[in-house]
Structure 1
Amino acid sequence: MRKSIATVSLSGSLTEKLSAAARAGFDGVEIFENDLLASPLTPEQIRDRAADLGLTIDLYQPFRDFEAVPDDVLAGNLRRAGRKFDLMRRLGTDTLLVCSSVSPHAVDDDTLAAAQLRQLAERAHAYGIRVAYEALAWGRHVNTYAHAWRIVEQADHPALGVCLDSFHILARGSDAKGIEDIPGEKIFYLQLADAPLMAMDVLQWSRHHRCFPGQGGLDVASLVRHAVNAGYRGPLSLEVFNDVFRQADAGHTAADALRSLIALEESAGIADLPSPTVPSGVAFAELATSDPEPVAALLGALGFVRTGRHTTKPVELWEQGEARILLNSGTATRREGTALTAIGLETPGPGAAVRRAEALLAPALPRRRTEHDVPLDAVAAPDGTELFFCATGRPGHPDWTRDFPAERASVPAGITGIDHIALTQPWHQFDEAVLFHRSVLGLLPHETVDVADPYGLLRSRALTSGVSGAGDGLRLVLNLAPTSVNQGNRAQHIAFTTGDITDTARRIRAAGTELLSIPANYHDDLDARFEFSPGELDTYRDLGILYDRDEQGGEFRHFYTATVGRICFEVVQRTGGYRGYGAANATIRLAAQRDQRR
């Protein structure tokens, strides 16, 4: 289906918004009236600019507070509409969005509303224009799509139909299945937006917190499916009011918007994409560093050994158990310090994973390699992290470890693998990152968790492979730090698994490496909250081990190393089926890391 986007969904001037929509690959746009009014271009110039970019202008909006009003108000409204029809003819668009009235002049009279909307449609018809009537969720008398359709049906004019807006329908909890009772030819337009589930005034919710489909909690896919079943064949159009999108780069937002529509078509069952090839775990984590000695010393204290060097690049492979770290000293600058720049994802079919990524507009990354280097495909995540699709040791697939001739074997010393990787996202890309990992990689997003940081609020959301995320598959945690924390220092961490956390902590400390110091008040509180075996809590206090227990009795023990550059390491031990990430301890950890940096 054709894909469109409302200019209100993007930041910048109208010309910047049109250019961003065209570069992303949209077919058309809705022109939001304020964007046109603020533009120095004439309507004819806007029409020509859109045409030069390959965009149609699918809708002009909004026209407010028209129906069910006294005769003197109606006369003014019809005069206003006539001016808009002249404008639309110059602009080259044939559909006007009319919102259900919120005016105090409007009365609760469906017959009057239908008669006046018929007058409007009759005048629009003379201009070759259609009127799409939309029920605002906060409309004075008409606030459901079913009510709007009854009025349109009563008005009975070929130039009058309905506009269905997923936010207005789903935010009120309306049953979208009733859409299938509306003739498809009378559904003039379909506007789409998702939103996180929030308990707040619907008007404020709508104006500040909408997001692209797949980024929130509304079932937009089912609504689209019902509209298509009814016979709707018009564009899928995004109308998203979002404070972050209004400030973010328009080109980046437009690309994310189009990805959301492609994924939505798949979810709604109206388009086929290459099936997700869900990663099963982490093949490697790559750290770029201008000074490898501190991080190499830290890895050594954790029990890692350098097992190989890349045949052509300044990259070292460090291993312990199934945990593999690449140290790349050829790409980082001293100003950036040490940072996590790439993740190798164990993928059953790397080729299929690449095809799906390309279908969902994930930018493929070119690689400089010699003819002897193992070929690996990679795409860029929204935050710039490189994601490599790997099939380590799988017959019939290139094995990236061949680029690292063995120097020595790793000796098991407590760490068995990578439990999860936490990535702090730029402030304007958190929702985009969730959609990217959900749609491109097929990961399951879990509920968003808010954590108090000493200088703000940190949002965190985990994504895992598998249906429940309970197994040993891939676990990623996306964090959105407070702006004061996020500027120029986006801390990340890699969490390793161990079967005996106290033994691992003692060994690391014996190697001369200090662990993150945890305040005594924290362990005093643990003593009040949980019962421990004799001496257990004293051990945790001494080693700086944090502890959590879920309602099912699952336990989580973890500690952190010092931060090197923008990376720190966490060591975790899960028992009893614990699925979380120690969110109850995050505030303590963040404060302790702040104190350590001081």
Structure 2
Amino acid sequence: MRTSIATVCLSGSLVPKLHACAEAGFDGVEIFEPDLVTAYESPEEIRTLADRLGLSLDLYQPFRDFEGVDEATFADNLRRAETKFQLMNRLGMDLVLVCSNVATATIDSDEVSARQLRALGELGASYGVRIAFEALAWGTYIDDYRRAWRIVERADHPNVGVCLDSFHILSRGHDPSDIEKIPGEKIFYLQLADAPALDMDVLSWSRHHRLFPGEGSFDLTGFLGHVLAAGYTGPLSLEVFNDVFRQTDVRRTAAHAHRSLVWLADQVRRPDTVPAGRPLTAVSPPEGFDFVELRGSGLDEADLVLEQLGFTFRGRHRTKPVRLWSSGRARVILNDQRGGEQPTHLAAFGLEVADASAALARARELDAPPVFRQTHAGEQDLPATASPDGTQILFSDKGPDPRWLDEFSYGDPERSDIARAIDHVNVTQRWQDFDEAVLFYQSVLGLDPEPAREVAGPRGLVRSQVMRTPDGCVRLPLNVEPQGEDHRTQHVAFSSDDVVGLARTARARGLSFLPVPDNYYDDLRARFGLDDAFLAELRSLDLLYDEDGAGGFVHFYTRTLGDVFFEFVERRGPYDGYGAADAPVRLAAQRATAR
């Protein structure tokens, strides 16, 4: 099946948009009228450029406020339409989007609207133009796709059909299953958009908060399944109004958009819908973290902190300026390669997967950028890709002990059990990359998104969303970095069976903890009714605590090393959260102690 995208989804002017769409792999585009009106190129030049780029011009949109009007207005509407049809002939386009009337409709009558659409279809036929009628969610009288179809059916003209837009249908809570009652040949066009669950007027929701498939709360897989079951064979097209996408790099957004369509088509599991002509390589979710890798100019301080925490120094790599610390299955690589003058930061993490080659193949099919990492003879070559924020992700086949451990020598045998594994990795995102990251981790890695939430911080609310495997063996909380920050603070959390004992030992070794204010412990007493002895122990060690009614959560943070810090967590019982209530305390303490 072909893929298409409305030019309104992208930033910039029309010509760069067309180039970006072609580079991203789209087959066609919808021309949004304001993009053409503001272009200096003639319609003939746009038509020639699209042809040279291999793009079809699929839909001209929108034509507004046509039906449900008095006779004088209707006559003028036909005049407007004829000029648009003449323009479309110059562009070589044969399909126009006609939205249900929101401004000039005065007659609430299926018969009148059908008669007027029939006349429009007859005029369009004389120019070789078809009419795709769409029910806007805020239409004056016609705001339901089912009524739009009844009117099209009554119009009974071969050049008049419907356009189905997932936002206008799902935002109103309309049942999409009735789409299957529409003959496939009368569904002239399909527009897809996701959106977050918001309680606001539908017009503002539509104009500012649409998302690409996989980034919101709509069931687009089910929606598309109904459309295809009806027999629709046209392009899968994106129409996403979003303030962020209209400001970000046009090529990156186009690639991001195309990834969303490829993923969605694959979710439907119909071979005829897959844009690449074949299903994506199937992969199971990751089975655990293999390692985290830090780079930067302050790694000596990281060595000290890891030693104070009780990690074992496992040695240096035999060919690279890289060293390894570990405890159980928690492994930290400190990489002096290409660290430059950057502060210490999270550069990469490894994932244990059932089939590393398959994981990389899926990433490539979804246009995730490949990463080259130099290896020498006899060294394990871990397949790698890059996430939207540049963090590298390496895949290794699940096994008892990874083979790459043998490449480190002159260290100590594993003697530490203070950490069992990596519990979660917090990957902070720039505000403009957040939605792309959600789609990336869902489509490429097969992680499930938890509901987004907002956490209070010293500079306002911080948007947070966790991507995870169903069993929780891989958890990636994504946070939006504060506006105005010139760096992104990441953190790595390790799981432990005894955080209190670990904290006591680490403090005796000289570890400097993130200080917690006394007021926090007074609040803990009020929230959970903790006994005095336990509360005093938490206070003496700068430990934090949370519970959810099913279990408890004891944890602490180290001070920040460059742009990264460590956390140790102990999950007591079935507690499955991340201490979200403690995040404001951590953020405030980090800001107060920033150097």
Q: TM-score range by the shorter chain?
A: over 0.9
CA–CA separation in structure 2 for the residues paired with 1:218 and 1:346 = 31
Question: What residue in structure 2 maps to residue 538 of structure 1?
Answer: 536
Q: Deviations over 1:26-82 (max 9, x none)?
A: 000000001111111111111111111111110000000000111111111111101
1:333 Cα shift? 1.8
Is the 2:354–2:398 Cα contact (8 Å) retained in structure 1? no
Stretch of structure 1 that moved more, 520-529 or 406-415: 406-415
2:563 is equivalent to residue 563 of structure 1:
no
**What residue in structure 2 maps to residue 94 of structure 1?**
94
Counterpart position of 1:373:
379
What residue is the counterpart of 2:506 in the other structure?
A: 508
1:253-287: CA deviations, max 9, x gaps? 11111111111112122242211231111100000
CA distance in 2, matches of 1:105, 1:191: 24
Q: Is the 8 A contact 1:392 1:399 kept in 2?
A: no
In the other structure, the counterpart of 1:364 is 370
Ranges in structure 1 where 5+ consecutive residues have no aligned partner: none
Contact 2:419 2:494 in 1 (8 A): yes
Please give the per-residue CA displacement for 1:143-194, whole angstroms capped at 9, x wherever unaligned: 0000000000000000000000000000000110100000000000000000
**Is this contact kept in 2: 1:5–1:29, CA < 8 A?**
yes
Report deviation, 1:413: 4.7
Partner of 2:146: 146
The residue that corresponds to 1:422 in the other structure is: 426
Aligned-residue sequence identity (percent) comes to 52
State yes or no: 1:403 paired with 2:410: no
Matches of 1:482 and 1:375, distance apart in 2: 36
Cα distance in 1 for partners of 2:476, 2:578 equals 11
Aligned to 2:364, the other structure's residue is in SS state helix
CA contact (8 A) 1:392 1:401 kept: no
Q: Which amino acid aligns with 2:587?
A: L
Normalised TM-score (structure 2)? 0.97
C-alpha distance in 1 between matches for 2:403 and 2:51 = 48
Q: Which amino acid aligns with 2:479?
A: N
CA shift for structure 1 position 406: 5.5
Counterparts of 2:410 and 2:396, CA distance in 1: 19
Partner of 2:315: 308
Alpha-carbon distance between aligned partners in 2 of 1:393 and 1:144, rounded to the nearest angstrom: 54
- The answer (yes or no) to whether the contact 1:545–1:557 under 8 Å persists in 2 is yes
**In the alignment, is residue 577 of structure 1 matched against residue 577 of structure 2?**
no
Match among 273, 279, 297 for residue 290 of structure 1: 297
Q: Is 1:460 aligned with 2:464? A: yes
Quote the residue 2:133 is aligned against: 133
**Distance between the aligned counterparts of 1:524 and 1:394, measured in 2?**
45
The answer to whether residue 388 in structure 2 is matched with residue 382 in structure 1 is yes
User: 3-state DSSP class of the match of 1:429?
Assistant: helix
- Is 1:451 the equivalent of 2:455? yes
* Match 1:526 to one of 518, 524, 527: 524
CA distance in 1, matches of 2:32, 2:478: 33
TM, length-normalised to structure 1:
0.96
Of 94-103 and 538-547, more deviation after overlay is shown by 538-547
8 Å CA contact 1:390–1:399 kept in 2: the answer is: no
- Structure 2 counterpart of 1:285, which letter? V
Q: Which AA in structure 2 matches 1:29?
A: V
Separation of aligned partners in 1, 2:566 and 2:560: 8
The 5-angstrom pairing of residues 101-250 of structure 1 reads: 101-250=101-250
Aligned match for 2:546, one of 545, 548, 561: 548
Q: 2-side partners of 1:400 and 1:108: how far apart?
A: 71
The amino acid across from 1:156 in the alignment is: D
Deviation at 1:358, TM superposition (A): 1.6
- Alignment match, 1:333: 340
Task: Please show how residues 259-270 of structure 1 align to structure 2 within 5 Å.
Answer: 259-270=259-270
- Conserved in 1, the CA contact under 8 Å of 2:311 and 2:418? no
Contact persistence 1:135–1:143 (CA under 8 A): yes
| Cα pair 2:101 2:140 within 8 Å, conserved | yes
Contact in 2 for aligned 1:101/1:142 (Cα 8 Å): yes
Q: String of CA shifts for 1:71-98, please: whole Å, max 9, x gaps.
A: 1111111111011001111111110000
Query: RMSD over aligned Cα, in angstroms?
Result: 1.3
Say yes or no: does 1:346 pair with 2:343: no
Contact map agreement 2:57 2:93 (CA 8 A) in 1: yes
The question of whether the paired residues in 1 share the 8 Å contact of 2:69 and 2:104 is answered with no
Deviating more after overlay: 442-451 vs 162-171:
442-451
Q: Distance in 1 between matches of 2:376 and 2:42?
A: 54
The match for 2:276 is none
Distance 1:401 1:19 in 2: 45
Q: Is the 8 A contact 2:65 2:104 kept in 1?
A: no
Distance (Å, rounded) in 2 between the aligned partners of 1:519 and 1:292? 29
CA contact (8 A) 2:21 2:254 kept: yes
Aligned equivalent of 1:592: 589
SS of 1:317's equivalent in the other structure is strand
Which residue number in structure 1 is paired with residue 274 of structure 2?
none
> Following the alignment from structure 2 to structure 1, what is the Cα–Cα distance between the partners of residues 440 and 405?
27
Which residue pairs with 1:34 in the alignment? 34
Please say if residues 43 and 90 of structure 1, whose CA atoms lie closer than 8 Å, have aligned partners that are also in contact. yes
- State the partner residue of 1:412: 416
The whole-number CA distance in structure 1 between the counterparts of 2:51 and 2:480 is 39
Work out whether residues 392 and 400 of structure 1, in 8 Å CA contact, stay in contact via their aligned partners in 2.
Answer: no
Q: Distance in 2 between the 1:106 and 1:65 partners?
A: 11
Is contact 1:9–1:241 with CA below 8 Å preserved after alignment? yes
Which amino acid letter does the alignment assign opposite residue 323 of structure 1?
A: A
2:66 alignment partner in structure 1: 66
- Which blocks of at least 5 consecutive residues in structure 2 are unaligned? 272-278
Answer with 430-439 or 232-241: which moved more. 430-439
Displacement of 1:392 = 5.4
Q: Deviations over 1:422-480 (max 9, x none)?
A: 010111111111111111111111111101111122111111112xx4x5x11111111
Contact residue 281 and residue 475 of structure 1 kept, 8 A: no
Measured in 1, the distance between the counterparts of 2:243 and 2:414 equals 50
Residues in 1 aligned to 2:454 and 2:493: alpha-carbon distance in whole angstroms? 20
4+ aligned runs moved over 6 Å, structure 1: none
Q: Assess if the C-alpha contact under 8 Å between 2:312 and 2:416 holds in 1.
A: no
Q: Secondary structure at the match of 2:253?
A: helix
User: Secondary structure of the residue that 2:420 maps to in structure 1?
Assistant: strand
CA contact (8 A) 1:283 1:344 kept: yes
Preserved CA contact (<8 Å) 2:524 2:530: no
Q: What residue number does 1:258 align with?
A: 258
Write out aligned runs for 1:263-278 (5 A): 263-271=263-271, 272-278=279-285
Decide whether the 8 Å contact of 1:184 with 1:232 is kept in 2.
Answer: yes
Distance 1:116 1:455 in 2: 55
